[in-house]
Amino acid sequence: MNITKKEVDKLNAVVTVEISKDDYADKVHTILSNYRKNANIPGFRKGHVPMGMVKKQYGQAVLVEEVNKLLQENLHTFLTEEKLDVLGNPIPRNESEIDWNSDDFTFEFDLGLAPEFEVALPGKKATTHYKIVADDAMIDNQVKTICKQYGKLIAKDTVEKGDEVTGTFKAAEKDIENKATISLEDIKGKKQTTALTGAKVGDEVVLKTKGLFNDDHDNQKYLGVSHDDAHGLDVEVTFTIEEVNQREMAELNQDLFDKLFGEGVVTSEEELREKIKQDAEGQFAQQSDQKLLNDVVEDLIENTKFDLPKEFLQRWIQVSGEKPMTEEEAAAELERSEKGLRYQLIEGKLRADHKLQVTFDELKDYAKNMIKAQMAQYGNTNPTEEELEGISARILSNQEEVKRLTEQLNTNKMLQFFKEKAKLKTKEITYEKFVKEAYA
């Protein structure tokens, strides 16, 4: 067998694989001999079927299968030994020309080669790393929510300001029939609030959905409509009142603190507010990190310039799926996926240059820390090493879990790397302003 590579240009090459009869003849003969021993053909005793008949019936199918096995195995070995960084998979270029009645075969494959490039990090432009803080207004609102959640419900007959009202919304025009509990604080329009105020259990109140709630998304929750219908919904609904409750706020005392955080963890309103602040900012940090990761990735894609073997990639996309695509479909798919492919190459370059690959020991430690965090949620704050070893071994024996955890750890390593190496500017901001500024 002889395998050679001819470089077309820096991004494309052709590999030629020459297979002679000597490469496959013994294997084909052995398989056909086994067929002969086990074949049940009328008119012949088992094991005494003429070899000529076996070859005629099975010979070419066995030949094709064995040559293709040799081809794939040796092509893979060649690409590995030559350290060729290929994109996609080799595409056969003379498949239809192969004469399977001959003794020797020549196969040609087009290769798309990964480009060579450098990644500039830090770049010229600084990326904003948001530090999201929980301000007093947010903490006040959270304290109020806690007091409402753990307060008492007092049944009433008549709706007044601040009450919670349970009833059924109906509108034949949009097939709306949905039972929900609303608070008068959720209602936006003054006319709508006035229509509900003073209504009694059993009353039917007619409301207009346009501007009914503070947020159009509430139409989904309370009226049961789809996301698309929720935006700008403008119909009349009847709301039949079935229950009215006044929520008596819970007192900020030690019993409430213990219910929320465990006995003695929080002992005052000041400590409660600090705990709310810490928990909120911990969650905000995850959103801030994700925003940072997205922005650095976008910057790297935009500012790391290299060419791709687009013609090869389009052909590969066209033939590699479950169903063949047209040229137009493949071109559109390449356009959709090009940005992801570019970052995949950039990330691979960074991992190789800076030794950011995930090791098994790192994966095992990551799994153990995840297990410890989960066990702590259920009160086991001090698991033994034997427990952690056993559970992590079970998790890491599942390939899907290994893949999932590896992706998480890979993302964490890249994020930490960007925090250390990228050019960043920190900006302190409230969550409300962060949402408006970062995702406007």
| Residue 76 in this model has a pLDDT that exceeds 80 | yes
Kindly state whether residues 65 and 107 are assigned to the same domain: yes
Domain boundary among 90, 113, 136: 113
Identify whether 307 is part of a domain.
Answer: yes
Residue 398, domain CATH: 1.10.3120
Kindly state whether residues 158 and 30 are assigned to the same domain: no
Residue 239, domain CATH: 3.10.50.30
Domain boundaries, position 376: 269-438
Strand partners, 185: none
Identify whether 31 is part of a domain.
Answer: yes
Strand-pair category, 424-430 with 127-133: parallel
pLDDT of residue 49: 81
Q: How many domains does the chain have?
A: 3
Which single residue is written with the structure tokens 């096995």? 69
Domain boundary among 98, 113, 128: 113
Determine contact, residues 306/298, Cβ cutoff 8 Å. no
Kindly state whether residues 348 and 217 are assigned to the same domain: no
How many residues appear in the chain? 440
Kindly state whether residues 289 and 427 are assigned to the same domain: yes
Kindly state whether residues 176 and 209 are assigned to the same domain: yes
Is residue 318 classed as helix, strand or coil in its secondary structure?
Answer: helix
The model's pTM is 0.75
Identify whether 130 is part of a domain.
Answer: no
CA angle 160, 162, 167 (to 5 degrees): 70
Kindly state whether residues 38 and 101 are assigned to the same domain: yes
pLDDT tens, 239-283? 999 999 998 999 999 999 999 988 999 999 999 999 999 999 999
Could you say which DSSP state residue 10 is in? T
Determine contact, residues 256/275, Cβ cutoff 8 Å. no
pLDDT averaged over every residue in the chain: 92
Confidence of residue 96 (pLDDT cuts 50, 70, 90): confident
Kindly state whether residues 164 and 287 are assigned to the same domain: no
Residues contacting residue 193 through CB under 8 Å, at least 6 positions apart: 184, 187
Kindly state whether residues 92 and 177 are assigned to the same domain: no
Kindly state whether residues 91 and 239 are assigned to the same domain: no
pLDDT (mean) for 377-406: 91
Which single residue is written with the structure tokens 């590699």? 320
pLDDT tens, 195-217? 999 999 999 999 999 889 888 88
Kindly state whether residues 280 and 416 are assigned to the same domain: yes
Kindly state whether residues 193 and 54 are assigned to the same domain: no
130 to each of 123, 133, 166, how far by Cα in Å? 18, 9, 41
pLDDT (mean) for 370-375: 91
pLDDT of residue 216: 84
Higher per-residue pLDDT: 280 or 97: 280
pLDDT of residue 302: 94
| Residue 185 in this model has a pLDDT that exceeds 90 | no
Residue 106, domain CATH: 3.30.70.1050
pLDDT tens, 30-69? 999 988 888 777 777 777 788 888 888 888 999 999 999 9
Kindly state whether residues 301 and 346 are assigned to the same domain: yes
Distance CA 360, CA 402 (A): 10
Distance CA 258, CA 272 (A): 11
